[in-house]
Structure 1
Amino acid sequence: MDIQNFRKAVFAIAIPVALQSMLQSSFSMIDQVMVGQLGKKAIAGVEIAGKPAFIYAFIVNAICTIAGIMIAQYIGQKDHLSEEKAITVNGLVTIVFGFLFTAISLGFTRPFLHLFTKDEQVIREGMKYLRIIGYSYIPLGLTSLLAVPIRTHGKSPWPLYVSILSAIINTSLNYVLIFGHFGMPQLGITGAAIASVISQLVSMILLTFLFLKLYGAFHPSLALGKKRTKQYIKMLAPVVLSEFLWTLGQSMNTFVYGHMGTSELAGMSLTGPVQGMLIGALSGLSQAAGILIGQSLGEKHYEEAYHHSKTLMRYGFIGSAVLAVALLIFRTPYVGIYQVDHHVQSIGSSLLLVFAFLMPIKVENMILGGGIIRSGGLTHYIMFIDTIGTWGVGVPLALLSGLVFHLPIVSVYLILSQEEVVRLIISIIIFRSKKWMHTIN
């Protein structure tokens, strides 16, 4: 594929995926902005109660990554039967993890929240949210998974349209249920959770319909065969473990913020939605890498895959630099939306300043680790990178700077984020070695 056709293919995938990811991030942003009108206790409660969904979403992302690798390479090999098996197996794994996280959220609600804060009001608010949002996990997982084959077959706008409708439903229900408009009861944080569950259910139903429309006579099968089952486990286990350990590390950071104080936790919570929105704006490049580089590897066009990977990294750097400048300009008006005291707003604004400077590094890590290096299926490289970055650097620095030396939260965030620098250095070394380039047989 020449560079002009490659560029067209990238944007055909990346733009709809980016818009969809931003809309998905808008769920949490809408929840945070509207719940933010209820005060910092409610904001902190939603932040903590959202952790199981946060961890599950990243595990689902790992499963979807493996599904995308398999589907892309099987498309390159023109093996439709194996493609259907890959979708079925990854769908089952997604549902199993969904049941597990739902059981944890509903069965251990208070003990889980108590890990992050001793503030009883924050815990009570979080319990209202977690006991309902747990029902959204399986719809969320299936929605994410079904979008993968649809997108890989060149129908990226379809999941985007579903996300637009889902975002409209979520926003409308938030307005009605949180504040009690149009004769409905004022449910506060509970209303936000109900709105999210309903919107996720709608997304799942619509994407199921579109998936069946695309595939027609779909033949579900778990019969990968002994060789491919071993290969699948070898791909899946490292990336799921990697995502779990990474999200667990992020939860450890939240543990540190929560024990630094409710204002610190609320200030960090303000930044989460906008961080997700901006990273989501460039997540399409990571998805494009997984699909297009995976197809090149499936066809054994290794030099083409390497050359196109460098092009994607350049796009990521330029895009992240532009968005970082925009964030520097609009960070103060953004935190001003929330009905919290000036101290919390100041914390949020300062944290976004740090994030803006780190954004190009984070985006390059996302494209390399989340797309390029994974596309060959040798996912143990990603587990190595993420484990060293998160548990060798990030978590120890967070615990030391936050709970031992009691530094301000902005300093803690800057220090622990050096894990991103370490992760990028290791990723570049692995990328340049070309050992990640592999064809699934």
Structure 2
Amino acid sequence: MEKKQTFERAVLKIALPVTLQSLLQSSFSVIDQVMIGRLGSGSIAGIGLGGKFASLYSVVLAAVASAAGIMISQYFGRKDEKSAGRSFLLNLALSVALAAGFFLLCIVFPEHIMAVYTKEEGTKELAASYLRILAVSFLPMAVSSMLTTMLRCMEAAAFPLYASIFALVWNTGLNYLLIFGKWGFPRMGVAGAALASVIAQLISCIVIFLFFLHNKKKRGMKLLVCQENKTDHCQEISEQGVERHPSGRAGEFRRQYLEILCPLLVCEFLWSLGENVYTAIYGNIGTDACAAMTMTIPVQTIVIGALSGLAQASGILIGKSLGAEKFGQAYEESKKLMKYGLAASVMLSLALTAVSPFYVKIYCVEPQVQEITRRLLLAIAVIAPVKVLNMILGGGILRSGGKTKYAMWIDLTGTWIFGVPLGILAAFVWKLPVAPVYFILSLEECVRLGISFVIFRKKIWMESIQ
């Protein structure tokens, strides 16, 4: 009983802060959209297009953070803090390098980049100016992402939550001041929105870094910087200075790291591309369909965000059990986590079904758009438990053993062999309304879940990283 309660506490310790952080970010982003929406259609389009390219950086950064989380959680499970620190610094270095590359692109070629997205000169100029300023946030975003991953693996997920609350409040306040020129600040419009984001990211990075230093000192943790020369070695950074430790495993470490990271990069990029195809399918059905789908985005974000913490906790906790080579325990804990996710998602689906008639009336749109939105929300409610189980199983548990190629092939099969073709058939051949189209293409979630269960039961994903 005590062991079970310890596991439950560990789940809540990670899942609850991550969930609250996700929900807070969702709510503040809605506020930001409302404020930016007052700038006019040209400014909205400019910010949207600039953010679209920036999201490519976010996707790549998320893949690196995911690889970092897999390795660090396993090393902590094995009580190998030296390797955990080495993995953290390696991923931090890669993230900083990616940030520098994207930053240079956005500073030197913003107009060329935005020319790919739009031919309208006014919109292109706004988007380019927004992207040029926003690019400054890439470096602090990279550092924050890696520090957040490390803190979550330390089961200190509350610290990034506190930093996010602080930064999000600043971002919203600065948006109000800089976009509209309030309280003596200049009216900067689109540039003000970008500058507010940069300042908020800097604040978040500083606060998370201070939390990290506090937690590192509390644990007495040391970090490793791996170097390579004729006598391959690692330098251990500690409060007392630098010590050398021989190591002949650098080549194996890099090989294993690339085997984890590369499938994640492919998976995240092609998944993001698939989501853009889905958006194009909905957009081509008609204006009412596009408007209705847009109205469901806040609800989808909240429903998925409410259980994103459980998916994060799954990857970290199962990774620790695998790292300690407690394979039976990892398997049983995985089943518990899926049961928790299923129960919570069914309750959320029932709540969504109940509130959907009232939610659609918030928007001042035509009655037919409200009805389309209500039907979409019902379809979302039906498919939500499957989505959540995929998040926990495919996005957390199966990845935790480092065999990310399984997750890559599962996602690619679901999205590109089933989801995209089914969506095209439903929308353009069968010419169905948007709600059935959404439901039919979302059946790819069922395909992914079926494949994931087969792999899960075979236990071929269970591996301890050496």
Q: TM-score, normalised by structure 2?
A: 0.83
Matches within 5 A, 1:43-62: 46-62=47-63
Identify the residue that residue 225 of structure 2 maps to in structure 1: 221
- Is 2:110–2:129's contact at 8 Å kept on the other side of the alignment? no
> For the residues of structure 2 that align with 1:131 and 1:266, how far apart are their CA atoms?
30
Structure 1 residue 349: Cα displacement = 5.0
Which of the pair has the greater relative contact order for Cα pairs under 8 Å at 6+ separation?
A: 1
Identify the residue that residue 386 of structure 1 maps to in structure 2: 411
Structure 1 residue 127: Cα displacement = 4.8
Structure 2 residue 122 is the aligned partner of structure 1 residue 150: no
Identify the residue that residue 238 of structure 1 maps to in structure 2: 263
- Is 1:106–1:131's contact at 8 Å kept on the other side of the alignment? yes
SS at match of 2:279: helix
SS at match of 1:290: helix
Q: TM-score, normalised by structure 1?
A: 0.88
State the Cα deviation string for residues 214-265 of structure 1 (Å, max 9, x = none): 2247545144601111111111111121111111211222344455566655
Identify the residue that residue 394 of structure 2 maps to in structure 1: 369
Identify the residue that residue 85 of structure 2 maps to in structure 1: 84
SS at match of 1:221: strand
SS at match of 2:155: coil
Structure 1 residue 3: Cα displacement = 2.0
> For the residues of structure 2 that align with 1:83 and 1:14, how far apart are their CA atoms?
21
> In 2 relative to 1, CA 127–261 (structure 1 residues): closer, same or farther, beyond 3 Å?
farther
State the Cα deviation string for residues 57-113 of structure 1 (Å, max 9, x = none): 333232222212211221222222211110011112222333344455556656656
State the Cα deviation string for residues 131-185 of structure 1 (Å, max 9, x = none): 4433333322321210121122222211111011111112212222334432334
Structure 2 residue 293 is the aligned partner of structure 1 residue 293: no
State the Cα deviation string for residues 281-331 of structure 1 (Å, max 9, x = none): 211111111111111111111111111101101111121122223333445
Identify the residue that residue 164 of structure 1 maps to in structure 2: 165
> In 2 relative to 1, CA 315–298 (structure 1 residues): closer, same or farther, beyond 3 Å?
same
Identify the residue that residue 34 of structure 2 maps to in structure 1: 33
> In 2 relative to 1, CA 17–387 (structure 1 residues): closer, same or farther, beyond 3 Å?
same
Structure 1 residue 4: Cα displacement = 2.1
> In 2 relative to 1, CA 347–39 (structure 1 residues): closer, same or farther, beyond 3 Å?
farther
Identify the residue that residue 134 of structure 1 maps to in structure 2: 135
Stretch deviating more after TM superposition (241-250 or 33-42): 33-42
Stretch deviating more after TM superposition (270-279 or 301-310): 270-279
Identify the residue that residue 67 of structure 2 maps to in structure 1: 66
> In 2 relative to 1, CA 53–400 (structure 1 residues): closer, same or farther, beyond 3 Å?
farther
Structure 2 residue 314 is the aligned partner of structure 1 residue 310: no
> In 2 relative to 1, CA 110–404 (structure 1 residues): closer, same or farther, beyond 3 Å?
farther
- Is 1:12–1:156's contact at 8 Å kept on the other side of the alignment? yes
Structure 1 residue 273: Cα displacement = 3.8
- Is 1:33–1:337's contact at 8 Å kept on the other side of the alignment? no
- Is 1:37–1:339's contact at 8 Å kept on the other side of the alignment? no
Identify the residue that residue 184 of structure 2 maps to in structure 1: 183
Stretch deviating more after TM superposition (427-436 or 137-146): 137-146
> In 2 relative to 1, CA 367–53 (structure 1 residues): closer, same or farther, beyond 3 Å?
farther
Structure 2 residue 382 is the aligned partner of structure 1 residue 357: yes
Tell me which amino acid in the other structure corresponds to 2:422. L
Where structure 2 has 5 or more consecutive residues not aligned to the other structure, the ranges are 228-248
SS at match of 2:213: helix
- Is 2:147–2:212's contact at 8 Å kept on the other side of the alignment? yes
Tell me which amino acid in the other structure corresponds to 1:328. T
> In 2 relative to 1, CA 327–360 (structure 1 residues): closer, same or farther, beyond 3 Å?
same
Identify the residue that residue 17 of structure 1 maps to in structure 2: 18
- Is 1:59–1:240's contact at 8 Å kept on the other side of the alignment? yes
> For the residues of structure 2 that align with 1:346 and 1:188, how far apart are their CA atoms?
35
Tell me which amino acid in the other structure corresponds to 1:278. V
Tell me which amino acid in the other structure corresponds to 1:210. F
Stretch deviating more after TM superposition (358-367 or 142-151): 142-151
> In 2 relative to 1, CA 266–214 (structure 1 residues): closer, same or farther, beyond 3 Å?
same
SS at match of 2:460: coil
Matches within 5 A, 1:301-340: 301-331=326-356
> In 2 relative to 1, CA 285–363 (structure 1 residues): closer, same or farther, beyond 3 Å?
same
Give identity over the alignment, percent: 46
Stretch deviating more after TM superposition (180-189 or 331-340): 331-340
Is the radius of gyration larger for structure 1 or structure 2?
2
> For the residues of structure 2 that align with 1:297 and 1:317, how far apart are their CA atoms?
23
- Is 2:83–2:224's contact at 8 Å kept on the other side of the alignment? no
Aligned residues: 441
> For the residues of structure 2 that align with 1:136 and 1:319, how far apart are their CA atoms?
35
> In 2 relative to 1, CA 146–45 (structure 1 residues): closer, same or farther, beyond 3 Å?
same
Stretch deviating more after TM superposition (60-69 or 308-317): 60-69
Stretch deviating more after TM superposition (166-175 or 335-344): 335-344
Structure 2 residue 225 is the aligned partner of structure 1 residue 200: no
Structure 1 residue 437: Cα displacement = 0.6
> For the residues of structure 1 that align with 2:251 and 2:434, how far apart are their CA atoms?
50
> For the residues of structure 1 that align with 2:25 and 2:252, how far apart are their CA atoms?
36
